[in-house]
Structure 1
């Protein structure tokens, strides 16, 4: 296991220079992501008994859950970069990779559901579409998780049944793949790319339609134009985060799946790992979606900010309450 195989991607020294920044950046992303998504989860838990849920809140909660689970999966990827263990590499190529896929495409789909929800709210502001009901939101969320979990479990089972035993440390996860599993892997990548492209086209269409609606409202001087401007801003935030985090990854991932053995395989591997790191930033950027789309969450953040900025005021209140209690 101590020797690098001839098919390894890089020489030891150059690979160390490449992986060290990845370990550092992913570690920072992990800490920030846990902090932000932990704060969001705490907010949702505190709000559970205080107000009736909505379909938007259901989708936002599931998006938060996907981000939090991705944070829990990052230590395996970080350990893989920092270690040359063949066992860790095998775990990374199976559980680590599929966990990334699971949470990435869960986030992508829930972003799509949020966009559909907001789009219908703009197009049919006086009515409620079936996709906007709380019950349908719960059903869609459950079906999404079950569908992606089934694919993930199936992929892992096939990997361990068919993977090739190696006597040296592999440079690519593809070195583990048998011929039959390579076909399954490429089919899996194509299917994931179709999901991504479908959501991407929908998001662009929703933003374009929202912008047209805003322009029409401003031209006719409708009273709701200011509200529509905010809706367009919210849609822009959603589309921007989606593009920044997921477009670079998919531009590289599909070519790499087919060309990793070619002369450009080394370059594509570098690009794929950097693009994967960028996609992980999703766990740090998604709280912006919650902040702009959820009025209650904005109020919660501002309240928490005031507490942090004015700790003396909070302390005085506690002392005053304690003093009154002692006097009684």
Structure 2
């Protein structure tokens, strides 16, 4: 769901500390040149690293690794989401540094939708990977449809379709008024009770959805950790530790990239709908939201670590795992413990 860039403000007058709290919401929409430079440098670095890593991942997954199981298919969808997110960054950089009515219109109508659509699709695909690992390790001898490749394809198509539909609908509704919220600043959120209501309920629903997904990933990790701890010590102990660490790394990436943004999101929503009208706190929440959004974007650089950890064929193609199976090679586990850890 698209979370549009509501504040890209310009204020052409000096403001003292005594007048900050007396400013109206319209007057309070501004940012510092130093912060804009910081965001620009950060986005350029993320774009440069992300485009290299995701181009490599795209080449390996789509040119050399067939769809042999659900996790590989989810990882391929994650590559697509990350690649599109990275490709949306140049327009965001231009919008922050060279604001114009046409560029802002293009960003609000299209680019912001792509950016947030792919951010939330990444959230879902990371959750699907965690759930698949949970079923494989905690319930290895049961045949769940969720682990099937056919189900993974249907679930992925459904995820993309629903998120795309919601993003388009949100963009149409939030931009239906031709009058911008500020006359001297190109922004996406429009004036009007209707637009504010749509904005508030849409993003509140997204916030609830995110924390439900987060709770599910935490549950999967705890169950996997408990199950691996109960396995008898054996030559597979190294595999047990590796399986536990892999899902822990996924959880850490999830926390670093997405949790800060969604903690800031609710008070930021309140400030944009003027339920928080104090200028000082609006500015603080704006800076916090933009900073946490950079962390969310950084996910496009962290996900290649997950590709490396969760796919033997990926490591093998890069020449980093000589013992990895070829994509079409099938292993036959000797017991349930081996099924869990393969």
TM-score, normalised relative to structure 1: 0.84
Residue of structure 1 in register with 2:302 after alignment: 285
CA contact (8 A) 2:11 2:27 kept: no
**Closer, same or farther in 2 for the Cα pair 1:167/1:279, shift >3 Å?**
closer
CA distance in 1, matches of 2:11, 2:131: 51
CA contact (8 A) 1:9 1:172 kept: no
CA contact (8 A) 2:261 2:293 kept: yes
1:19 pairs, out of 36, 39, 43, with 36
Aligned residue pairs, count: 297
Tell me: higher relative CO, structure 1 or 2? Use CA pairs within 8 A at least 6 residues apart: 2
- Measured after TM superposition, the shift of residue 40 of structure 1 is 0.3
Compute the RMSD of aligned alpha carbons.
2.3
Residue of structure 2 in register with 1:70 after alignment: 85
Residue of structure 1 in register with 2:288 after alignment: 271
Matched, 1:302 2:319: yes
Higher percent of residues as helix: 1
**Closer, same or farther in 2 for the Cα pair 1:101/1:163, shift >3 Å?**
farther
Matched, 1:102 2:106: no
CA contact (8 A) 1:245 1:280 kept: yes
Which piece of structure 1 moves more, 125-134 or 189-198? Answer: 125-134
CA distance in 1, matches of 2:109, 2:266: 18
Matched, 1:228 2:240: yes
Q: Where do residues 125-140 of structure 1 align in structure 2 (5 Å cutoff)? A: 125-140=140-155
Give 3-state SS (helix, strand or coil) of 1:161's partner. Answer: coil
1:216 pairs, out of 230, 239, 247, with 230
Matched, 1:142 2:157: yes
Deviations along 1:150-181, one digit per CA (max 9) or x if unpaired, are 0011111113323524673337644x242101
Who wins on radius of gyration, i.e. which is larger? 1
CA distance in 2, matches of 1:2, 1:236: 42
Residue of structure 1 in register with 2:211 after alignment: 197
Residue of structure 2 in register with 1:32 after alignment: 49
CA contact (8 A) 1:115 1:235 kept: yes
CA distance in 1, matches of 2:167, 2:57: 26
**Closer, same or farther in 2 for the Cα pair 1:17/1:8, shift >3 Å?**
farther
CA contact (8 A) 2:10 2:185 kept: no
CA contact (8 A) 1:8 1:170 kept: no
CA distance in 2, matches of 1:9, 1:18: 16
CA distance in 2, matches of 1:275, 1:244: 9
- Measured after TM superposition, the shift of residue 223 of structure 1 is 5.3
- Measured after TM superposition, the shift of residue 203 of structure 1 is 1.1
CA contact (8 A) 2:62 2:76 kept: no
CA contact (8 A) 2:58 2:79 kept: yes
Deviations along 1:87-133, one digit per CA (max 9) or x if unpaired, are 32343344333222201110000000000011111012234311010
CA distance in 1, matches of 2:264, 2:215: 18
Deviations along 1:300-323, one digit per CA (max 9) or x if unpaired, are 22369xxxxxxxxxxxxxxxxxxx
**Closer, same or farther in 2 for the Cα pair 1:115/1:73, shift >3 Å?**
same
1:249 pairs, out of 261, 267, 279, with 261
**Closer, same or farther in 2 for the Cα pair 1:52/1:83, shift >3 Å?**
closer
**Closer, same or farther in 2 for the Cα pair 1:166/1:56, shift >3 Å?**
closer
1:238 pairs, out of 250, 255, 264, with 250
Structure 2 stretches lacking a partner, 5+ long: 1-8, 14-23, 322-342
Residue of structure 2 in register with 1:309 after alignment: none
Give 3-state SS (helix, strand or coil) of 2:318's partner. Answer: helix
Matched, 1:207 2:221: yes
